[in-house]
Structure 1
Amino acid sequence: MSSYVQRLRDALGSDLLLLPAVVVLPRDPLQRLLLVRHVDTGSWAFLGGGVEPGETPELAGVREVAEEIGLEVELGRLLTVVGGQRFEVTYQNGDRVAYMAAVYEAQVVGGDLQPDGTEVSEAQWFGQEQLTALDLTRFARNLAEDLRLAR
């Protein structure tokens, strides 16, 4: 949790927060998507996270990928912006967040794949046809459906 969100939580407790976020969808030459497994739930998700005060969504996306799995990415086009009830998350500690997220295509351009072990336990490339069978987070499942990634 960022210091910004921690200050909000200190003031508001577990109440619903509306937060800006970014999602990064790296693809390899075979058009597979890179997903990560969350440490806390064991579910698969897309890369991304919160946009910090003063940070652009693009910089946040690059930062989040580097922090979570050690890779450098170059962002491509903005695919969509999502929000609303389908993108609300209740964390295991009871904190509730409604994300409004900018979603970008991306390409890996450097770094060494190394999950951070704190947020992410594993990272793996998946073909779109594999997404339907994965245990995706609710957020990731809804985004995959919106982008017609899960068939």
Structure 2
Amino acid sequence: MGIAAHIARLRAVVGHELLLLPSVSVLPVDEDGRLLLVRHAGHDDGWGVLGGAIEPGESPAAAAVREAREEIGADIRLTRLLDTLGGPDYEVTYPNGDRAAYITTVYEAHITQGSPTPTDGELTELAWFPPQDLPALPLSNFARALLQATHHL
């Protein structure tokens, strides 16, 4: 999907300045308790989490379902709201210089239909990881902070 139209309009005015953005993060868990993590195209700094910006007029839950469908081509059922997180650990500087400070609503989910695969060009890879493997993984700073805050690490 790339950059949302409303964010592109903001960027046209403020350039690369820090934007505070509402977002969602989705942690799909399978029947074996494994967690689905992803690698993002264009700013791969380690394994990350599924998710993205909330669109104007969209609820966080609807954004989580939409992001999963767009990024991994699968339908999900949100099973629980884990947390809402923000602060310095959730600031990202993209390769083009754009800076964002995310306030992210984090959901746990289950895949209900489809086989997860990178579908929209935003992801290069995805994989399921058992909880005991998470501490040793090369995680993005955002993902590490989020997984620690939600007690997955």
Contact 1:39 1:117 in 2 (8 A): no
Q: Percent identity?
A: 48
Equivalent in 55, 58, 82 of residue 58 of structure 2: 55
User: Does residue 46 of structure 1 match 2:45?
Assistant: no
For residues 117-132 of structure 1, the aligned pairs below 5 Å read 118-132=121-135
Q: Which digits, 9 at most, give the CA deviation of each residue in 1:39-62, with x for residues without a partner? A: 223321111100000001011001
The RMSD of aligned alpha carbons is 1.1
Aligned counterpart in structure 1 of residue 101 of structure 2, from 94, 98, 111:
98
Unaligned runs of 5+ in 1: none
Comparing 47-56 with 131-140, which one deviates more in the overlay? Answer: 131-140
| Per-residue Cα deviation, 1:21-79 (whole angstroms, up to 9, x for no partner) | 00111110111101111122332111110000000101100110111110100011111
Aligned to 1:140: 143
Distance 2:74 2:126 in 1: 11
The CA deviation string for residues 1-39 of structure 1, in whole angstroms up to 9 with x for no partner, is 000100000010000000000011111011110111112
SS of the residue corresponding to residue 12 of structure 2 reads helix
2:43–2:94 CA contact under 8 A, matched in 1:
no
SS in 1 for 2:17: coil
Give ranges in structure 2 of 5+ residues lacking alignment.
Answer: none
**Are 2:41 and 2:124, in contact at CA under 8 Å, matched by a contact in 1?**
yes
What is the number of residues matched between the two proteins? 150
Detail structure 1 runs of 4+ shifted over 6 Å in the superposition. Answer: none
Shift of 1:84: 1.0
